[in-house]
Amino acid sequence: MGHMNVPLHFEHPTGTGNGPLPTKAPDHSPFPEGEPGPMNDDTLKQAGLKITRPRSLILKILETADQRHLSAEDVYRLLLAQGEEVSIATIYRVLSQFELAGIVERHYCDAGTAVFEAPPNGHHDHMVCVRCGRVVEFVDPLIEERQKEIAKQRGFEIDDHSMVIYVLCDNPGCREK
């Protein structure tokens, strides 16, 4: 089954958020491990970035948006809705700077769309419905332990990983491709 030309809809275990799939965070994040905390102008300073109006506006959008995963276009639309004019090129540039500084993580869906999120509070895996694009985060200690065992049996130690399970959901609103 060819998968993922459908838009992804992220669902956090709490039922909030939107977006796709994880990548490894930089090792130089301004956040302590597992404790992202609130993002503000101090976050920019800690990351070694100059505080500018576009950076502050984009950081606030990432901090306050209902969705956890936002594309550059999502950020652009949210800024416009607030009456703020920041060019899409500036948004892409700032999001790339934030990624390099460890403020956000970039994730890609199979369609190649990049989305950004503040570092999550701990590791999680994803299930993605191949029909409607719904994405559900989950954590399963048994799966995590089994992955470590499999790596060890083959002479490896897991540094980081991303797991995506492609599924058909039972959501009544799930639409066929």
CATH at residue 18: 1.10.10.10
Token pair, residue 28, equals 């130089």
3-class DSSP string for 132-169: CCEEEEECCHHHHHHHHHHHHHCCCCCCCCCCEEEECC
Which residues contact residue 2 at a Cβ distance below 8 angstroms, ignoring those fewer than 6 apart?
none
33 DSSP assignment? T
38 in any annotated domain: yes
43 in any annotated domain: yes
118 in any annotated domain: yes
CA distance 4 to 48: 37
> Is residue 164 within a helix (H) or strand (E), and if so which, with residue range?
strand 164-167
Token pair, residue 74, equals 């999502």
141 in any annotated domain: yes
Q: How far is CA 25 from the centre of its chain?
A: 10
- How many CA atoms lie less than 13 Å away from 25 in the CB half-sphere? 24
Walk along the chain (177 residues) and give the pLDDT tens digit of each residue. 444 444 444 444 434 444 433 344 444 444 444 444 567 677 777 878 888 899 999 988 988 888 777 889 999 999 999 999 999 999 999 999 989 888 888 877 656 677 787 766 677 887 878 777 677 778 899 999 999 999 999 999 998 887 888 888 888 877 664
4 in any annotated domain: no
143 in any annotated domain: yes
Q: Which domain holds residue 24?
A: 9-167
